């Protein structure tokens, strides 16, 4: 067996320790005589798995007691609808559009109410984060929405927007648990776990309790009400149980690493290695404004589409996989999530150096 360095944007690399431990427990979880996949979600064994996962996540993110943690399904994309259905009391919301995911979320919300795009970076193909320190926030806005880390473009909000007292809703799919956050600054934090936490099929929603009400838009399906899931502690119906179990293992892995401060330091080290190389390279070039660079997704180009293609192909042959950029940007993208080891980024940079020498 030999594993590649997988730079996929998602589903993405998971910690090897977690996968090994899950493999060991595959046929018999903790003496239960069955796989976590096979057991009742109403049983004591699974209850302990989900309770421990939630407790560890709360500890990692220092989640205040007046926030609920929900383990849901439907991916991050389902939240694009669930958020307006549950939060749009005045049927108005402000969206900051910094990439395709924010754009999709805004388009979905527009089905339910008035969406004001209060800032955007579309004028320069989403290569920066607009200044959000003094935006005009709509007086009747129910919330302000951001996509905190833009997976496709490789930008990240380094400061949260000044929402002037309005509820902040953030899609953190691709920066979840990559660094410490102050949960109390948000009304809702959510993300699909397949980028930085676990297997596809789980979406985690951290939501302030006062936002969980029965006062939702008319016609909202039971399954799309936060209250349904909050009242039943994510066990209203069968949850994505195996995925939650793997997320729980990743939470333990992050705790053992020393928590999110340590995780952040590690991520900064990895990202610096790659960005420093890009900044001095004569062939490769980062596509994002340096001040807004993501620690997780690093897009880069040579400026020559044929050379980009050659790079991706030769990198794959060198066991550096999934480096092709998103189809809307072209070029390359290295996603270097929590589970990507420093050695993986070293191997990538060494390969880029060699490619540069051979092709310049």
Q: Which helix (DSSP H) or strand (DSSP E) does residue 332 occupy?
A: strand 332-335
Buried b (16+ CB within 10 A) or exposed e, 180-199: ebebeebbbbbbbbbbbbbb
The footprint of ligand PLP on residues 77-116 (CB under 6 A) is: 77, 101
- Name residues whose C-beta falls within 8 Å of residue 69's C-beta, 6 or more positions apart in sequence: 54, 57, 58, 63, 204, 205, 206, 234
In the complex, the smallest distance separating the C-beta of residue 205 from ligand PLP, rounded to whole angstroms, is: 12
The single residue of 101, 156, 166, 308 carrying the catalytic annotation is 101
Given the complex with ligand PLP, which of 80 and 245 has the nearer CB atom? 80
> What string marks each residue from 147 to 166 as x (binds ligand PLP by CB under 6 A) or -?
x---x---------------
- Residue written as token pair 């940007």: 329
CB of 107 to ligand PLP, least distance (A): 13
In the bound state with ligand PLP, the residue whose beta carbon lies nearer, of 174 and 338, is 174
Q: Identify whether 131 is a catalytic site residue.
A: no
| CA 57/CA 63 separation, integer angstroms | 8
Residue 101 catalytic? yes
Q: Cα separations (Å) of 115 from 112, 122, 165?
A: 9, 17, 18
333 annotated as ligand-binding: no
Residue 166 designated active-site: no
Q: Are 217 and 23 in contact (CB under 8 A)?
A: no
Kindly state the tokens that stand for 17: 């320790």
Q: Least distance to ligand PLP from the beta carbon of 191, Å?
A: 7
| Stretch 178-237 residues interacting with ligand PLP (CB under 6 A) | 192, 195
Catalytic residue among 171, 227, 270, 308: 171
Q: 18 in the Ramachandran plot: left (φ > 0), alpha (ψ -120 to 50) or beta?
A: alpha
Site string for ligand PLP, 57-76 (x = CB under 6 A): ------------------xx
Q: Binding site membership for pyridoxal 5'-phosphate: which residues?
A: 76-77, 101, 151, 171, 194, 237-238
- Indicate which residues carry an active-site annotation: 101, 171, 195
């Amino acid at each position: 067996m030999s594993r590649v360095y997988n730079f996929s944007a998602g589903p993405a690399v998971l910690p090897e320790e977690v996968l090994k431990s899950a493999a060991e427990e595959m046929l018999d979880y903790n003496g239960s005589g069955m796989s976590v996949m096979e057991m009742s979600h109403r049983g004591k064994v699974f209850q302990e798995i989900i309770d421990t996962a939630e407790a560890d996540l709360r500890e990692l993110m220092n989640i205040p007691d007046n926030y609920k943690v929900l383990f849901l399904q439907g991916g991050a994309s389902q939240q694009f609808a669930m958020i307006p259905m549950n939060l749009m009391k005045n049927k108005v919301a402000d969206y900051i559009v910094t990439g395709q995911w924010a754009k999709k979320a805004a388009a979905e919300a527009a089905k339910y109410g008035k969406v004001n795009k209060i800032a955007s970076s579309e004028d320069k193909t989403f290569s920066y984060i607009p200044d959000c320190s003094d935006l005009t926030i709509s007086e009747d806005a129910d919330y302000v929405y951001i996509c905190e880390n833009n997976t496709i473009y490789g930008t990240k909000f380094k400061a949260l927007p000044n929402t002037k007292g309005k509820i902040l809703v953030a899609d953190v799919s691709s920066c979840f648990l990559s660094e410490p956050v102050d949960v109390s600054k948000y009304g809702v934090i959510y993300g699909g776990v397949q980028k930085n936490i676990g297997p596809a099929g789980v979406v985690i929603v951290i939501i302030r309790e006062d936002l969980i009400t029965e006062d939702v838009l008319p016609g909202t399906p039971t399954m799309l009400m936060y209250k349904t899931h909050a009242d039943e502690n994510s066990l209203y119906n069968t949850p994505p149980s195996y995925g939650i179990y793997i997320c729980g293992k990743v939470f333990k892995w992050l705790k053992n690493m020393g928590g999110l401060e340590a995780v952040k330091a590690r991520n900064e080290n990895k990202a610096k290695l790659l960005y420093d190389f890009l900044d001095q390279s004569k062939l490769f070039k980062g596509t994002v404004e340096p001040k807004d660079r993501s620690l997780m997704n690093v897009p880069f180009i040579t400026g020559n589409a044929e050379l980009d293609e050659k790079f991706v192909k030769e990198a794959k042959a060198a066991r550096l996989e999934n480096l092709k950029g998103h189809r809307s940007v072209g070029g390359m993208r290295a996603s270097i999530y929590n589970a990507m080891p420093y050695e993986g980024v070293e191997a990538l940079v060494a390969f880029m150096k060699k490619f540069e020498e051979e092709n310049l």
